[in-house]
Amino acid sequence: MTYTDYATGEPVVDTKAPKGPVHERWDKRRFEAKLVNPANRRKHTVIVVGTGLAGGSAGATLAEQGYHVVQFCYQDSPRRAHSIAAQGGINAAKNYRNDGDSVHRLFYDTVKGGDFRARESNVHRLAQISVEIIDQCVAQGVPFAREYGGLLDTRSFGGVQVSRTFYARGQTGQQLLLGAYQALSRQIAAGNIEMHPRTEMLDLIVVDGRARGIVARDLITGRIDTYFADAVVLASGGYGNVFYLSTNAMNSNATAIWRAHRRGAYFANPCFTQIHPTCIPRTGEHQSKLTLMSESLRNDGRIWVPKAKGDDRPPNEIPEDERDYYLERIYPSFGNLVPRDIASRAAKNVCDEGRGVGPGGQGVYLDFADAIERMGRKAVEAKYGNLFDMYQRITDEDPYRVPMRIYPAVHYTMGGLWVDYDLQTTIPGLFAIGEANFSDHGANRLGASALMQGLADGYFVLPATINDYLARNPLGDRVDAGHPVVQEVLAETEDRLNLLLSVDGGRTPDSFHREVGELMWEFCGMARTDSGLRKALERIPQIREEFWRRIKVPGTGEEFNQSLEKANRVVDYLELAELMCLDALHRSESCGGHFREESQTPDGEAERKDDEFAYAAAWEFTGTGEAPTLHKEDLVFEYVHPTQRSYA
């Protein structure tokens, strides 16, 4: 049986989402969920993996509630999680602008923006909670941008027509993360959180069908240890680094969620990846990662390419009537503010037509000349100064004088571990929050919604729902290191690392990562085809085979060894890549960030097939390289009726 001959299993059903009017569901669930007696909470241990917006906020909040939290991050400090790099802002339905915003509109925009592949219950809850997040962050001292009257400022973002994005210059993620980190720090000092920095989760311990702990490696000493808990929360982020080049941090990885998947957690919609339209184009072979320029730039910058193919004049010498402001032309009502997937694909299309600019024709202009004329250089500087500086530092070009060059890059993964309304995976006791789960963004995430979801999950959703699980699973049955299952998982982890160290071949971990990444970008990137995906599915097992034959990892496992860390992450990318391609292959419709060339409208827009694909695809692991089993969760739209998205 080949990998593509997957079987379709029982549908997966979200049994936790309450019925009834959508705006009452969260209240209802919170009321129905069992609670843990405050006095008993300290007897419960919860493991949280990751300290980004989701993990940091969850760890702090669970500790505040009285749980004993054991938390991990691979970075040297919880403050460095990659949420810190989010630039643009965070959405909230505060309607401070009186511009017609409401919880229902944020809900509607998110379901529509996600191209009708998200769960209505979850999205509505997210919109409801959005307002509380802003309150919470302001109370923590997050220095959001303010107006002269002392009230909070907002701006608009792609895919919406209201101004609901709160921001802290171009560093909103940093400020929100530091808020969560500080809350976490307070709990660490209070002794409620046992923090393990520079410690990476390598496997999940499942005993009697319940998540009971993790295996983790101390990255300084190399010591592999087991940690036990009553519940495990994965907040380890997305898997965009499977593409090698992405806007993710260099060490962001998929190991925690992939290992959980291998232990039984379903992986949902792995092919839903977001390609962000405004990144700095790559400069050469040496490129190690890509840098995003905030989407907020599209508020004032105009995107264009020359009308003629191969026009290599400098941008300032191309007269106005020989420029094609293609987003404004194709989408007159949203113009440069169309959702990310649409903006990215449009950029790819004009580049494919041979009208791209810069080295290799892989770029389009983002021009601020009009904005500078209209607002004055000072105002542009105040709004985007740090982004312009960053651009200039990287490219050595002055964006005040020459238009920026941008190109799409992998940025976010909407897919992730399948979770129910309680954010629990298919393994009881294993929860996934933030980018690590699949739940709220459907096939495309709107700008400024990742921060919202991470914090909603961590501050408000998980701390309410995890009680129910803990309350229903009484204390007492402790698992310890001597348990045969634990011994087995530990031995498997040790064997894997030892094998990596012993192959001693002729290729570096990075070279394999780059190879699989380029393959994914070509065949499972912005546009996907049946034949391309099949090619990739043929190639991936070959790369994997070569990996285990030719990998070279210097040093030992009993020391600080960054090559070993990297190699172990690549092992998981080489398996995850295969599932992503299979998911992309099976979903022969286009939706959101998933664009199948076979499924497009006559004018080249993504064409959904709601009759066939109005479901979340949750995959069950059956063995490395073996066809997984597909479980469908049917998506029901009671409030936002699927239509062809139109931003024209």
Partner 1 sequence: MKLTLRVWRQKNADAEGAMSTYEVDGISSDMSFLEMLDTLNEELILKGEDPVAFDHDCREGICGACSLVINGDAHGPERTTTCQLHMRSFKDGDTIDIEPWRASAFPVIKDLVVDRSAFDRIIQAGGYITAPTGAAPEAHATPVPKPDADFAFEHAECIGCGACVAACPNGAAMLFTSAKVNHLNVLPQGAPERETRVLDMVAQMDEEGFGGCTLTGECATACPKGIPLMSITGMNKEWLRATRKVSKR
Active site residues: 340
For residue 123, the minimal CB distance to partner 1 (Å) is 21
Select from 195, 188, 88 the least CA-distant residue to 451: 88
Whichever of 268 and 466 has its CB closer to partner 1, that residue is 466
For residue 104, the minimal CB distance to partner 1 (Å) is 20
For residue 609, the minimal CB distance to partner 1 (Å) is 38
Whichever of 252 and 453 has its CB closer to partner 1, that residue is 252
Whichever of 100 and 284 has its CB closer to partner 1, that residue is 284
Q: How far is CA 127 from CA 82, 131, 416, in A?
A: 23, 8, 20
For residue 194, report the phi and psi dihedrals to the nearest 5 degrees.
Answer: -100, 110
Whichever of 4 and 386 has its CB closer to partner 1, that residue is 386
- Amino acid letter at 148? Y
Q: Given the structure tokens 């982020």, which residue do they identify?
A: 237
Whichever of 182 and 362 has its CB closer to partner 1, that residue is 182
- Amino acid letter at 450? A
Q: What is the DSSP string of 307-325?
A: SSTT--S-GGGS-GGGEE-
- Cα–chain-centroid distance for residue 340? 14
End-to-end CA distance of the chain: 45
* 508's tokens: 């570096």
**How deeply is 253 buried, as exposed, middle or buried, from its count of CB atoms within 10 A (0-12, 13-18, 19+)?**
buried
- Amino acid letter at 509? P
* 640's tokens: 């936002």
Q: How far is CA 35 from CA 65, 406, 466, in A?
A: 11, 50, 9
Whichever of 322 and 558 has its CB closer to partner 1, that residue is 558
Q: How far is 99 from 641, CA to CA, in rounded Å?
A: 23
Select from 16, 109, 5, 114 the least CA-distant residue to 616: 114
- Cα–chain-centroid distance for residue 412? 4
Whichever of 140 and 629 has its CB closer to partner 1, that residue is 140
361: Cβ contacts below 8 Å, ≥ 6 apart: 351, 354, 355
Q: Given the structure tokens 């490696």, which residue do they identify?
A: 217
| Long-range contacts, stretch 304-308, CB < 8 angstroms, 24+ apart | 304/364, 304/365, 304/367, 304/403, 305/350, 305/351, 305/355, 305/356, 305/357, 305/364, 305/365, 306/355, 306/357, 307/355, 308/355
What SS3 class is residue 91? Answer: strand
For residue 48, the minimal CB distance to partner 1 (Å) is 14
Question: From start to end of 364-452, where are the E strands?
Answer: 364-367, 404-413, 416-417, 430-432
Whichever of 204 and 249 has its CB closer to partner 1, that residue is 249
For residue 409, the minimal CB distance to partner 1 (Å) is 12
For residue 213, the minimal CB distance to partner 1 (Å) is 24
Q: Name 215's bridge partners.
A: 203, 226
For residue 486, the minimal CB distance to partner 1 (Å) is 29
505: Cβ contacts below 8 Å, ≥ 6 apart: 549, 550, 551, 552
Q: What is the DSSP string of 553-594?
A: --S-SSS--HHHHHHHHHHHHHHHHHHHHHHHHH--S-BTTB
Whichever of 78 and 415 has its CB closer to partner 1, that residue is 78
Q: Given the structure tokens 């440069």, which residue do they identify?
A: 336
For residue 445, the minimal CB distance to partner 1 (Å) is 19
For residue 304, the minimal CB distance to partner 1 (Å) is 24
Under a CB-based contact definition with an 8 Å cutoff, are residues 159 and 338 in contact?
A: yes
Q: How far is 188 from 182, CA to CA, in rounded Å?
A: 10
* 49's tokens: 């993996």
β-strand 45-49 against 68-72: which pairing, if any?
parallel
Whichever of 144 and 421 has its CB closer to partner 1, that residue is 144
For residue 583, the minimal CB distance to partner 1 (Å) is 28
Whichever of 165 and 175 has its CB closer to partner 1, that residue is 175
For residue 393, the minimal CB distance to partner 1 (Å) is 5
